[in-house]
Structure 1
Amino acid sequence: MNTLLEHLKNKRLVWQGNQQEHCLTSNSTGYVELDDALQGGFPQSGMIDIHTPIGIGELRLLLPALRYRQQHKRLLVFIAAPMQINGEMLAHFGLSLEQVLIVQPNSAEHALWSAEQCLKSGCCHSVLMWHQQLEIAQTKRLQLAAEQGDALHFVLRQSRQVSLSLPVSLAMKLNAHEQGVAVQITKRKGGWPAQPFNINMTHTWPELALSQRASNVLSFPQAKVS
């Protein structure tokens, strides 16, 4: 039995309850609420599975971390994006367009191949891929490629899929919120999931967030005591 456990640990197929979180290198996400929930930020490398509707602010959530990681002078890659990536927006937020690569593959299989090649090349600091169907074997290949290339792989897929726990470094679910996005961390390597919370984007993106609603509770005037 001990030999089997050692084999599984060497293959990174089991996680020990006494494994220390601080052994994992992390970088700030750019949002205090998310950093606190992740006890530091996004991992330095690995795979992050994000379940999210399209267009609720999922890209805005990642931009501060992507800008920070671009200081390594490596490429930021977008693969199979379901919308046009706005270069002017990226430049306005401080990302160098010379270090941005956009790939539009002909099929889902080509998207997976492109992501794996970019991740393990060592030329990319981050790879964002929109993909709807991921299998466990495919996820393991991408996770290994990200670790080999010291890259971070964000996979964005819509939440209508069957919830399958994949062997990733981090898994999150996003929903729309008036002041930003609502986040639920469902899986975290070296730690435990956190309670759902909201990320306030009004300071960074005031034009894309709704102002706080005034309270609709009316207070009754106090009766005068004679």
Structure 2
Amino acid sequence: MLMSVLSPQSIHSSLWLASQLARGGTRGIDTGFAALSAELPERGWPTGVLIDLLLQQPGAGELRLLGPALQSLAPRRIALVQTPHAPQVIGWRQLGIDASRLLSVHTSTSADAAWAAEQILKSGSCSALLFWQRHLRKDGLRRLHLAAQSGNTLFVMLRPLSCAQDASPAPLRLSLMPAAGGIDIGFVKRRGPQRDDPLFVSLPSLNLLHHASVDRRTPAPAAVGSVLSELVG
């Protein structure tokens, strides 16, 4: 007698084969970039978890990448903790985000910043939390990940690319490197198969509303310019 083979998802939604992306019952927030959303298990940015964005350099295009998702969460507030520079109203407005939605928190120590981020996550008072942090101990990362799981906040940590070598409880870790016309996204960790080739995403300039994404296997030369100062400095 032949035995039927059950798919992992038929046993539990959190199970998947190593050769396929995990597909749980919860759909993430649309990234606004079709090629990127297709590469993410939740078909978008997951909520209620820690997301690690690992930057080759500040201003690689991280805020323009997150812009469509943040815009879709209106009118709820967006928390910005430890931004490298003061938020600029004009830049955020060009991303389609009203500056009145922004809650900027800056502390004198990294420990205080982590505590503030944890309280924001536990309170559920903001639809999204962006937390800039260079280094954080493993127990600190676990605390933040657990706090995120208590709600549905879109929680993104923005850290240097060197942190990719450190362990993290984040189920999604992406590296971002500037490229001509956009960024190259590397999949450091996701619930699914390893992808060795970066995904090129074309980013809009700050005075444009339209954007597109292309799965290009041969990345363009890296761009030198940075737009971070137009948004947070």
TM over 0.5: yes
Q: 1:155-180: CA deviations, max 9, x gaps?
A: 11111346113011310001110010
CA contact (8 A) 1:29 1:42 kept: yes
The correspondence for 1:55, drawn from 39, 56, 59, is 59
Q: 1:162 to 1:89 in 2, by over 3 A?
A: closer
The 1-side partners of 2:107 and 2:89 are apart by: 19
> What residue ranges of structure 1 are gaps of 5+ in the alignment?
1-14, 207-212, 214-226
CA contact (8 A) 2:16 2:23 kept: no
Deviation at 1:151, TM superposition (A): 0.6
> What residue ranges of structure 2 are gaps of 5+ in the alignment?
1-13, 209-219, 221-233
Aligned to 1:42: 45
Structure showing greater relative contact order (alpha-carbon pairs closer than 8 Å, 6 or more residues apart): 2
Deviation at 1:204, TM superposition (A): 6.9
The correspondence for 1:65, drawn from 63, 69, 85, is 69
CA contact (8 A) 1:50 1:174 kept: yes
The 2-side partners of 1:120 and 1:171 are apart by: 22
Q: Which has the larger radius of gyration?
A: 1
The correspondence for 2:92, drawn from 90, 94, 100, is 90
Number of residue pairs the alignment of both structures matches: 191
The 2-side partners of 1:24 and 1:165 are apart by: 25
- Residue 131 of structure 2 aligns to a residue whose secondary structure is strand
- Residue 58 of structure 2 aligns to a residue whose secondary structure is coil
The correspondence for 2:141, drawn from 114, 139, 142, is 139
The 2-side partners of 1:203 and 1:88 are apart by: 13
Q: 1:161 to 1:147 in 2, by over 3 A?
A: closer
TM-score (norm 1): 0.76
Deviation at 1:144, TM superposition (A): 1.5
- Residue 21 of structure 1 aligns to a residue whose secondary structure is coil
Deviation at 1:115, TM superposition (A): 0.4
Q: CA RMSD in A?
A: 2.4
The 2-side partners of 1:94 and 1:144 are apart by: 31
Q: 1:94 to 1:162 in 2, by over 3 A?
A: closer
In terms of fraction of residues, the more helix-rich structure is 1
Deviation at 1:125, TM superposition (A): 0.9
TM-score (norm 2): 0.74
- Which AA in structure 1 matches 2:159? R
